[in-house]
Structure 1
């Protein structure tokens, strides 16, 4: 079972410390979320910096809101980062749900799923070295991984789960072990229905905070502020894991469900959490 670190967003300059400690530890991946109308670092830019400051750990968007971005430019950015990191990019994609993010980009909130499907068709073609159209040539560079970086999709609705089989390499599950199993089974069923070889890669996510009470309080406040728009922030914060035992049990629970990796997502800013979580892992 691989275990990654989801990075906090409150202090972009501090992420170098997090990344270098994680790269020196037992962790497999660095994850970073995406929003536009919020005080968070832009993930592709931030992960490019972190990739340059590390040597082996993967960098993962979790999830990048692809419909808010120009398709050809996103394909080029992803291919560039994948190529320059030697294939360390994992492109986690989703559609988002914030009206303000879509307002400022002029993207119709009601068509974002269809737009993502259209984007994937174009990006897969470009990453394979095909021209953009009959009138426009190829858009390089070629990614390190043939066919493009590994693509994971997040979401809960059937359309999102089916998208994993149609366009992706795996599934990002922000769900507790108690109900993630049904999502995993649905993704695997779609995978077989589409005749895909092997199995989809399953990456789970749990929210954690480990350390003194002020670290936990900081994490809860940051997470609550981030998810206030959902109307479910209180419930989500309640699910944050704050003990070594709880974190170990969650990792074991996802392992029992056949997950390939668990991302321990942090909202508190204390980088010493990396060392504490390393001891848990």
Structure 2
């Protein structure tokens, strides 16, 4: 099972250090969250910079809020990043649940799922070299993979899980092992029902903070602020893993569930957490 690093969002200037340390370690992927009305870096731009500073490690959105973005431009941006990184882009997609993000772009929060379902066939069509339509030709460049970058879907509701089988390559589960197992089973079942060959790629995400108390406190504060919109950020903060033993146990549990990769998401800005996680592995 592979292990990746989820990057903190509160200090973009430190992310190059994180990326270079992760590249030198045992990690396979760098992940970055997406918000619009928040003090965080835009993920496609940030990951492009990090990809240019590395040569091996994959870059992944966790998850990119596609309904907030123009579909044709998103197709071009992601194809460009995928092509220029030699296929290292993993495009995690979701709908988002923050009303302010959607209000800022003029889209109705209530239609976000429908909009994503309309975007997906067009994205696949454009990545494959097809014309946009209505007298508009293809939108290049061609991505590194003929069908476009690897696509993972995040979410918890049945319609979100079904998108994996309909349009995706895999599933991104931001859930503890006790919940992730059921989600994985549902995704596998949907995959079979849709007649997909092989198996979906299953990626889990767990929040971690390793280091002195200052690092842990900083991570808790950052998580509390980020998830305040839910009305129950304390529940998210309570699940933060803060000891090597807890992280090892979670990784073992995900491996037992058949996860292909686990993203250890760090909310504290101390890049030495990369080294601590590397030692743990």
TM-score (norm 2): 0.99
Q: Could you tell me which residue of structure 1 aligns to residue 254 of structure 2?
A: 254
SS at match of 1:45: helix
Superposition deviation, residue 146 in structure 1 = 1.4
For residues 232 and 265 of structure 1, what CA distance do their matches in structure 2 show? 19
Q: Distance in 1 between matches of 2:139 and 2:35?
A: 26
Per-residue CA distance 1:133-168 (angstroms, 9 max, x = gap): 141100000000110000000000000000000000
1:153 aligned residue: 153
| Cα distance in 1 between the residues matched to 2:156 and 2:236 | 16
CA distance in 2, matches of 1:139, 1:146: 14
- Distance of 2:186 and 2:57 partners within structure 1: 29
**1:190-215 deviations in Å (ceiling 9; x for gaps):** 10111000000000000000000000
What SS class does the counterpart of residue 17 from structure 2 fall into? helix
Q: Shift in Å at residue 96 of structure 1?
A: 0.2
1:231 CA displacement: 1.1
Alignment of 1:27-46 (within 5 A): 27-46=27-46
Is residue 116 of structure 1 aligned with residue 116 of structure 2? Answer: yes
Structure 1 outlier segments of 4+, above 4 Å: none
Q: Residue 72 of structure 2 corresponds to which residue in structure 1?
A: 72
CA deviations on 1:78-136 (whole Å, 9 max, x unpaired) are: 00000000000000000000000000101111111111011011000000111111411
Q: Which residue of 1 aligns with 2:81?
A: 81
2:133 partner SS: coil
For residue 92 of structure 2, give the secondary structure of its aligned residue in structure 1: strand
The corresponding residue for 2:192 is 192
Number of the residue aligned with 1:177: 177
> Which position in structure 1 is the counterpart of 2:243?
243
What is the CA distance between 1:39 and its match in structure 2? Answer: 0.1
2: CA distance between counterparts of 1:12 and 1:138? Answer: 34
Distance (Å, rounded) in 2 between the aligned partners of 1:145 and 1:243: 39
**In 2, Cα distance between the equivalents of 1:265 and 1:59?**
14
Distance, in Å, in 2 between the alignment partners of 1:193 and 1:133 is 31
Aligned to 2:54, the other structure's residue is in SS state: coil
Alpha-carbon RMSD across the aligned residues, in angstroms, is 0.5
Matched, 1:58 2:52: no
Q: Distance in 2 between matches of 1:112 and 1:225?
A: 24
Instruction: For residue 179 of structure 1, report the CA deviation from its aligned partner.
Output: 1.4
State the TM-score, normalizing by the size of structure 1.
0.99
